[in-house]
Structure 1
Amino acid sequence: MENETTETSTSGCAALRALRRLWSMRSSLNLLGTTLDVTTGEWIEYSSGIGAGVDSFYEYLFKAHILFGKEDFWRMFHSAYLAVQKYFRHGPWYHEADMRNGKATYWQLTSLQAFWPGLQVLVGDIAAANSSHREFVHVWKKFGVLPERYLLDHLMLHPTEKYYPLRPELAESTFYLYQATKDPWYLEVGESIVNSLNSYTKVDGGFASIRDVTTMQLEDHQHSFFLAETCKYLYLLFDDSFLVDRNYVFTTEGHPLPVLSSWHDRLPEAYIPRNWTFLPSEKQARRASAMTLQVCPATSLDCRHRCQQVKSACHIPDARSDHRCFGDEECGVDATTCRRRTCSMAGYCGLWLFI
């Protein structure tokens, strides 16, 4: 047991060192690439995003803070998160950009990006998480499953990556959003995912990956992450008794790690003040994510006495409080960018790619 504990501790320290080393290789914009030359230590691929090649970095950066209560990991994640929102985000979607100059490179949805709303839930940015999650769900319903790659600038599937390998990311984010909100709509989403899996992927002896989502042609293959993650998150969505009176953080492979009290005791002082902004209201303080309190240029948040949001003069609210819409005329002007909002293909107002 002693050797096992020592080995685990050594592995954990190595992982933390790796996170710090990767962060030291960021660009001046606080962005990272997706592929490194392990011999030279130089970036090979400068186009970056929140999907393949970099997704686990963002996830572990924040979860390292939760597990160990180290303030520097929160500062690193906060800087990285703001950079993602600035250079990758376009409405509810996240395109890819050059890590060196922030210019957009690929306008595409990838299935691995679907983990991001779940991470945003942990951060406390529920509104942004819900916005992106809705659009992923819309694409799922459009094809029956979530394709590996969808070209946002052409509104079409990638010609060679039409497959669905039973990935768990959308189920994972659905689980986190339900835990945070207890909104029964997320249970409906989970039920839709389960029904799709049973209808399109179930075979004798297991579940098969889909080779082409346009024909639902199957492959003779089932990845291990389907049982380790996809099924696990769907199960916990409907029966979370495993989580009652327990404090866990799930790894990117879906393994639950206990948050020990000796690590977690520091979190109320080290984490909450920087993660949340308290807004005064008539009845009581309303907790709102600091990440979402972005207002138009030349305005600010004055927190010297109490935090108060300075509203943008250009802001025009959407016609409906739930941001649903049937046409662009029902959408207002965004308070963050002062840009006109439009109605998405899923029927929600936002800053979308196309009108």
Structure 2
Amino acid sequence: MGALSRLTGDPIYESVALRALRKLWSMRSSLNLVGTTLDVTTGQWIGYSSGIGAGVDSFYEYLFKAHILFGKEDFWRMFQSAYLAVQKYFRHGPWYHEADMRTGKATYWQLTSLQAFWPGLQVLVGDIAAANSSHREFFHVWQKFGVLPERYLLDHQIIHPTEKYYPLRPEFAESTFYLYQATKDPWYIEVGESIVNSLNSYTKVEGGFASIRDVNTMQLEDHQHSFFLAETCKYLYLLFDDSFLVDRNIIFTTEGHPLPVLSSWHEKLPEAYIPANWTFPKSENQRRRRESAMTLQVCPATTLSPNHGDQQIESACHIPDVRGDHRCLSDEDCGVDSTNCRKRSCSTASYCGLWLVT
């Protein structure tokens, strides 16, 4: 909508989109988490389980992409708060489970295919290590079944009994494309080849490609979503031939459409439709410093900002241990230390910590 306003010169499209965004952000919990489904009649959340998958994925994606496109600090501050909350309450090693938006307690331990967009978003943020870690787990599940099932129960290591389909979704291919662009690691080309081979082996039919009804049996259904051409094929093509990107500064929408990143789009919005009661303070000396661990690997978890007096910088590198008492069975139970951003490991005494290796 913001791009449409820039292209037409009519501010109404961006105005109503900002109004909706402002309303959603005002409904976040005290933990800076938002739900996934709203009752459009009452304006209240339907359930309180939150995550990064269906119902909320594009919210996170557009907060940061809007900042890239339009340069507004408000978008950055919302995204930074939301990203830190995701890392604190959803992340479990390389996985992201769901949690109650009010308490942060885990609700559903499951992988959903829509979550596979997250590593691609982390590439844009600059959190490459975390993106690579999650992407490899998605690929492990892909290899296990030949494609990515819609929902996989992490706590039971089985496919969800009713959501066992694969509708040719693009998110895993999208993140593979972004990670290759960021690292130029040929391993991601191999992942892309695996995706293409699976599509040709399991989904190709006369006249196109069909969704898979059941990944256990590879039974097909007579349906090909439009996002297969708009996104899945597009990201796979760009993975192997990125000449389209040469000398272009673009950002892809959540539906895979390229938009130009133009300096002229970074102009301030007309005062007539800047939100009157925006959640964040407008005074520059009240703002939290923009740089965080997401851009500068800032450690420790909080440190004084030289530019803003007593303002502090939050570190996104901190990942708590799985257990509050820091006991562990393996290194996977240990997080990332907030003081120096180093991965903690499990000692022979079964406690997480930073151990000197000689």
Scaled to the shorter chain, the TM-score interval is: 0.7 to 0.9
Identify if the C-alpha distance between structure 1 residues 4 and 58 changes in structure 2 by more than 3 Å, giving closer, same or farther.
closer
Alpha-carbon distance in 2 for matches of 1:216, 1:74: 42
Identity of matched residues, %: 77
Q: Does 1:172 align with 2:167?
A: no
Equivalent positions of 1:243-258 (< 5 A) are 243-258=245-260
Alpha-carbon distance in 2 for matches of 1:57, 1:179: 23
Where structure 1 has 5 or more consecutive residues not aligned to the other structure, the ranges are: 278-287, 316-327, 343-355
**1:215 Cα deviation after fit:** 0.7
Alpha-carbon distance in 2 for matches of 1:265, 1:177: 30
Alpha-carbon distance in 2 for matches of 1:180, 1:294: 23
Match of 1:41 among 35, 40, 43: 43
Q: TM-score, with normalisation over the residues of structure 1?
A: 0.78
Equivalent positions of 1:116-265 (< 5 A) are 116-264=118-266
Identify if the C-alpha distance between structure 1 residues 121 and 141 changes in structure 2 by more than 3 Å, giving closer, same or farther.
same
**1:275 Cα deviation after fit:** 4.3
Equivalent positions of 1:54-69 (< 5 A) are 54-69=56-71
Verify the 8 A CA contact 2:5 2:11 in the aligned structure 1: no
What SS does structure 2 have at the residue aligned with 1:27?
coil
Alpha-carbon distance in 2 for matches of 1:341, 1:250: 40
Verify the 8 A CA contact 1:334 1:341 in the aligned structure 2: no
Q: Does 1:28 align with 2:44?
A: no
Alpha-carbon distance in 1 for matches of 2:45, 2:75: 22
Alpha-carbon distance in 1 for matches of 2:299, 2:154: 25
The aligned counterpart of 1:80 is 82
Code of the residue aligned with 1:97 in structure 2: it is A
**1:339 Cα deviation after fit:** 5.8
**1:261 Cα deviation after fit:** 1.8
Alpha-carbon distance in 1 for matches of 2:235, 2:44: 36
Verify the 8 A CA contact 2:331 2:345 in the aligned structure 1: no
Equivalent positions of 1:194-343 (< 5 A) are 194-264=196-266, 274-275=290-291, 289-290=295-296, 301=303, 304=306, 334-336=335-337, 340=345
Q: Deviation per CA, 1:220-249: give whole Å up to 9, x if none.
A: 111110000000000011111111111111
Alpha-carbon distance in 2 for matches of 1:112, 1:3: 29
Identify if the C-alpha distance between structure 1 residues 265 and 275 changes in structure 2 by more than 3 Å, giving closer, same or farther.
farther
**1:53 Cα deviation after fit:** 0.4
Alpha-carbon distance in 2 for matches of 1:335, 1:99: 23
Where structure 2 has 5 or more consecutive residues not aligned to the other structure, the ranges are: 269-283, 308-312, 322-328, 348-358
Alpha-carbon distance in 1 for matches of 2:109, 2:330: 26
Q: Deviation per CA, 1:136-173: give whole Å up to 9, x if none.
A: 01100110000000000101111111100000000000
Verify the 8 A CA contact 2:252 2:259 in the aligned structure 1: yes
Q: Deviation per CA, 1:69-95: give whole Å up to 9, x if none.
A: 000110000000000000111001000
What SS does structure 1 have at the residue aligned with 2:55?
coil
**1:45 Cα deviation after fit:** 2.1
**1:263 Cα deviation after fit:** 3.1
